[in-house]
Amino acid sequence: MAEKSSTIGEVLTRVVARLIDQITDATTTTCYISMDPDRLDAGNPGAIIYVVTPAPSGSFNLGYQDGGGPNQVTTEWPIVVTVHNTYINDQVAHETEFLTNATTGLIPKATLVLKALVTHFLQDAADTPNEILAQPITVYDAAVQKVPSKRRGSMQFGFLAVFDWDLS
């Protein structure tokens, strides 16, 4: 079990904090929470944007609802992280660079997200941090999307966060 109960809001906030801490170009301007995984607040062409979104639905395992007391319930909630590459990709020959360039490529940036989150226990922001997950984060899904009209693309990952939802 997690050492500390949490909420989906704290989990999302700590995912963003972890990405900003672990990825050099992830900042409060380029890494944020949104309900829309395709929302691009930092509209600078050439930016890499990291959007953290709660999946539309989570689940509550009935077997874990007894024993935790009246102030928490164990929750399994998918978190979606979308990495947008806003570099303009206007020629077929540029697609390899767009995807694989070591500095600006979509695949290397997405790999940094995986390295930052997979098997990591999120911690709260306390002076003496406490783990807020019942299990380490796992990745369960991935997708790549090309947006021809905007000449850009994105890679999206589904991560599973299992935590004790604080009901107090």
Residue 85 confidence class, pLDDT cut points 50, 70, 90: confident
pLDDT in tens, 123-166: 887 777 788 888 899 999 999 988 765 667 899 999 999 988 88
What pLDDT shows up at residue 39? Answer: 81
Q: What angle do CA 119, 161, 105 make, to 5 degrees?
A: 60
Which structure tokens are listed for 152? 């850009």
Specify the pLDDT at position 2.
43
132 vs 11: CA distance, rounded Å: 8
Per-residue pLDDT at 125: 78
Q: Taking Cα atoms as reference points, which of 144, 153, 147, 150 lies closest to residue 104?
A: 153
Give me the chain's average pLDDT, please.
85
pLDDT of 28 > 50? The answer is: yes
- Provide mean pLDDT across the span 38-58: 83
pLDDT at 1: 37
CA distance 125 to 93: 45
The H or E element that residue 146 is part of is strand 138-147
Quickly state the pLDDT bin for 18 (edges 50, 70, 90): very high
Q: What is the pLDDT of residue 40?
A: 78
Name the CATH architecture for the domain at 8-166.
2-Layer Sandwich (3.30)
Confidence at residue 3, expressed as pLDDT on a 0 to 100 scale: 62
pLDDT of residue 43: 60
Q: What letter does residue 131 receive in the DSSP assignment?
A: B
